[in-house]
Structure 1
Amino acid sequence: MVGRFKIRHPDVYSVADVGYMIGGRVGREFIAIAYWLYMTCVVGSGLLSSIALNAISTHGTCTAVFVAVSAVAVFLLASIQTLEKLSFVGWVGSVLIVTIAVTITERPAAAPQSGPYDIDILIFGKPSFASAMGAVGQLLFAWAGTPAMFGLIAEMRRPQDFTKALLACQTVMVSLYLAVAIVVYYYCGQYVASPALGSAGPMIKKIAYGM
């Protein structure tokens, strides 16, 4: 629907422009503020900058310092107005490094390093309400970037190909999400780290976060 709307209204660049079409200036400002808050939650759920710096430096300084450093870095990168300059980020495969690593390590990093241990794989667990809602929230935010697609379409050489690109992208993403989740959980079970990049031990954790 976003793709069809964009093709019919090529002057629309963001969801705020859609708000302007619906409700004029008031609609644009309202949608812009709502969109900003929404995307703050979406992006915030996936930003691991301060965690990455902690992991790489083995907690070299206060987390608040790393949060400040991350904020400056994100601000500078977010100031780049075109995605073309950031396309190299798409080739980073830190999750795949961890997925491969957990299959060749003797046991998960968080498991007892000697003696027997039980991975304890469960199809149906018994999480607390807060844990369950946290897991549901992660799944929702993982697929919640749809409003940002207006900007993506605007930078395509052929916006008419958006539907094909979307289907190809989502097919790869769903397959990758499932493969990574199944493999890591199969090999780590109850010892999966959160975030999962720490599941294969300190060295792989540093390499993955470095990537």
Structure 2
Amino acid sequence: MAMKKQRKGLGAIATATGYMIGLFKLRYPHVHNMADAGEILAGPIGREVLGGAQAVFLVFICGSHVLTGLIAFDTITAGASCSVLWAAVAAIVCLVLTLPRTLNGISYMSVVSFISIITAVLITMIGVSVAGHKGGVKASAEGLTFASAFLAVTDIIFAYAGHVGFFTFIAEMKEPKDFAKALYMLQIADTTLYLIVGVVVYAYAGAGTVSPALGNTGTLLRKVSYGIALPTILIAGVINGHVCAKLIFIRM
């Protein structure tokens, strides 16, 4: 219950802060990234600090998707090849798909990504429910350290981390004023998905729940889920890589 409230609360904060970013962009139309916003707020120092932070954050997000891609390929092939090889494959695929110079081309990939993740999580939820309740569900953890609790919170915050690319997204919209509509649709969809998947998987998998959630099913369904989720795993990294590359390109 506490986790559900936490997700709702962070979802509400993410919606409010996303809306503020939209208003900021409308007031300063020339802003294209966090560096531009930082310059308005704190001059040259703000530009360098926020621009550098955005670039580093986006690089690490891309890295997390390469890691998840490695896990997916390794799961699908049952460890048939070296993990470093799969990491290289995921990185190369992301690099190639990042080449389009505008988000217009990448936007079509997002449709594929959405269908991919919805299908994968449905398979996962069906899989854990068929396997039956494993017990061990607790409303609160015992002996929880500050580091573990903080990590749990940051995991949820990370799920709402799309804000880092909002300025770039709005800059390429035909009608920037429509950003609020897209934001509300996004927040309703992702918060609902996070709540339903989290509750169902944890209710059936119990204390043995692993992350990513796709790993909570049997061997066969795990391979199927990861196979279907591959477009999402790679495309999400592509979008963040594109935003990062555009930030560097504009600064140069």
Provide the TM-score with structure 1 as the length reference. 0.84
> What does residue range 32-181 of structure 1 map to in structure 2 within 5 Å?
32-45=51-64, 48-85=68-105, 86-87=109-110, 88-92=112-116, 93=118, 94-103=120-129, 105-107=130-132, 118-126=134-142, 128-129=144-145, 130-181=147-198
Q: Secondary structure at the match of 2:135?
A: coil
Instruction: Tell me, in whole angstroms, the C-alpha distance in 2 between the residues paired with 1:198 and 1:123.
Output: 22
Change (3 A) 1:201 1:95: same
Instruction: Tell me, in whole angstroms, the C-alpha distance in 1 between the residues paired with 2:47 and 2:141.
Output: 44
Instruction: Tell me, in whole angstroms, the C-alpha distance in 1 between the residues paired with 2:65 and 2:89.
Output: 17
CA contact (8 A) 1:42 1:144 kept: no
The structural deviation recorded for 1:76 is 2.1
Which position in structure 1 is the counterpart of 2:206?
Answer: 189
Instruction: Tell me, in whole angstroms, the C-alpha distance in 2 between the residues paired with 1:98 and 1:7.
Output: 41
Give the letter aligned to residue 115 of structure 2.
W
Which of 201, 206, 211 is the equivalent residue of 2:223? Answer: 206
The structural deviation recorded for 1:128 is 4.4
Change (3 A) 1:79 1:126: farther
Give the letter aligned to residue 203 of structure 1.
L
User: Where is the helix percentage greater, Structure 1 or Structure 2?
Assistant: 2
Moved more, 137-146 or 79-88: 79-88
Moved more, 56-65 or 82-91: 82-91
Task: Give CA-to-partner distance per residue, 1:114-148, whole Å, 9 cap, x none.
Answer: xxxx5111000125424333322211211222121
Give the letter aligned to residue 137 of structure 2.
I
Percent identity (aligned): 36
Q: Could you say what the CA RMSD is over the residues aligned between the two structures, in angstroms?
A: 2.2
Give the letter aligned to residue 31 of structure 1.
L
Q: Secondary structure at the match of 1:193?
A: coil
Change (3 A) 1:98 1:82: farther
Moved more, 80-89 or 168-177: 80-89
Q: Secondary structure at the match of 1:145?
A: helix
The structural deviation recorded for 1:162 is 1.2
Provide the TM-score with structure 2 as the length reference. 0.71
The structural deviation recorded for 1:160 is 0.8
Task: Give CA-to-partner distance per residue, 1:24-83, whole Å, 9 cap, x none.
Answer: 555433322111112334454555110001011111112122112222222222333333
Which position in structure 2 is the counterpart of 1:112?
Answer: none
Question: Gaps spanning 5+ residues in structure 2: where?
Answer: 1-19, 229-252
Q: Secondary structure at the match of 1:169?
A: helix
Change (3 A) 1:23 1:143: same
Which position in structure 2 is the counterpart of 1:12?
Answer: 31
Give the letter aligned to residue 70 of structure 1.
A
Give the letter aligned to residue 58 of structure 1.
A
Give the letter aligned to residue 90 of structure 1.
F
Structure with greater Cα Rg: 1
Aligned residues: 201
